[in-house]
Structure formats: structure tokens, C-alpha cells
Amino acid sequence: MIDGTKSNPFIEWGRAILLAAGLAFIIRIFLFEPYLVEGSSMDPTLHDGERLFVNKASFMIGDLERGDIVIIDGEEKNIHYVKRVIGLPGDEIEVENHQLLINGQMFKEPYLQLNEEKAAEQGTFLMENFKTISVPEHEIFVMGDNRANSMDSRNGLGSIAIGQVAGKAEFVFFPFEKIRKPK
């Protein structure tokens, strides 16, 4: 059976637009959100001016792991930091002889190779030594990949409450010629 009444195309378009806007709002609030990388603290993994999508949903279900790149909400509104998770709750973190130790074991960080080579060329070290830091429960220890030029858990941010983590970086989507999943 066919209904003989005609629907108003403006009402139909209005409904479609409202549905699309509602879905976009829900996706942005609960699932994915774009962020702008500002500064060089994550070079060479992420560069100033790149835009990345952050997965908020995977973090909400609790799969935060060492090595993840996360967005951290700062104390001030609209201030965010992008850093790499180094220590999880209960971990002991230290740098001895310019090597990262986690729970007394040397931790390999292959994503730092280029920065380590640059530091060696300049006759310096990528990281300065620091004594053991215990990561409190419900907090994480983070560092930027550009260790010589990063404000992070070592020198200003301190350990980060897990509730301050906005989500995990999933992929760089701009500039378009550099679309990739950060390692």
C-alpha cells in the first residue's frame, strides 16, 4: 500500500541534518576527537602543526599501555599535552647512565633512535639521570620523545592522574601526505 500524502522535503532534509549533527556530536564527545600537535616535545614521532585523531573510547574501557601516545588534559582549560606513557601505576622509573630503567630493568625505546643519534653527534645525552620515582596508584608517568626538549613527568607535569588522560593518539590525519599511525 502506498501512502498518498506527500512529505515536505524541507522537513525530511531537516531531520537528516539533525540526525547527522547528533551523530557527529556523539562521536566527537565519546569516541574520536581531533587534536593539534603544538611544539616539538614529541619529535620525531609527531611534529608541530600535525593533526591527529584521538580515540577516547578505547581508553574508557581501560587498555592504557606502556608506550601509548596519549593526550593529557592540563590544569588550565583548553591546554592539552601529548606524551608517551612510560610508567604505569606501581612502576619504579629512573634514568641511570642515561638509560631508562623500569622496575630495575633497562627499557628499550626504538622510537628514540634518531634523537639519540642527534644527541651523540652533539656530544650530549638524550636524558639526564634521575633517581627512582614511584608511580602512584591511579597515575601514570609520561615523557615526550624529544627528551631534551619536553616538559613531562620528570620536570614539571609530575605523575598524571589517569582521569586527566583524554584518550590515545590513533593516527595523524593532516597534513594529508603524512597520514600515518604514530609508533
Tell me the HSE value of 172 on the side-chain side, using a 13 A CA sphere.
20
* Confidence (pTM): 0.80
7 part of the active site? no
Of the residues 6, 7, 40, 41, only one is catalytic, namely 41
Rounded Cα distance between 181 and 105, Å, is: 28
Per-residue three-class SS string for 23-46: HHHHHHHHCEEEEECCCCCCCCCC
41 part of the active site? yes
Domain boundaries, the chain: 32-176
- Residue 131 confidence (pLDDT): 92
Of the residues 56, 83, 153, 168, only one is catalytic, namely 83
Instruction: Decide if 133 contacts 94 (C-beta within 8 A).
Output: yes
Dihedral over alpha carbons 168, 170, 175, 177 (to 10 degrees): 160
- Residue 13 confidence (pLDDT): 84
Low-confidence ranges of the chain (pLDDT < 70): 1-6, 26-31, 58-62
- Residue 4 confidence (pLDDT): 54
- Residue 107 confidence (pLDDT): 95
- Residue 3 confidence (pLDDT): 57
Strand residue runs (E) in the chain: 32-36, 51-55, 69-73, 80-87, 92-96, 99-102, 105-106, 130-134, 139-143, 160-161, 165-174
- Residue 29 confidence (pLDDT): 63
**Which CATH code fits 32-176?**
2.10.109.10
- Residue 55 confidence (pLDDT): 86
- Residue 74 confidence (pLDDT): 84
Rounded Cα distance between 12 and 157, Å, is: 51
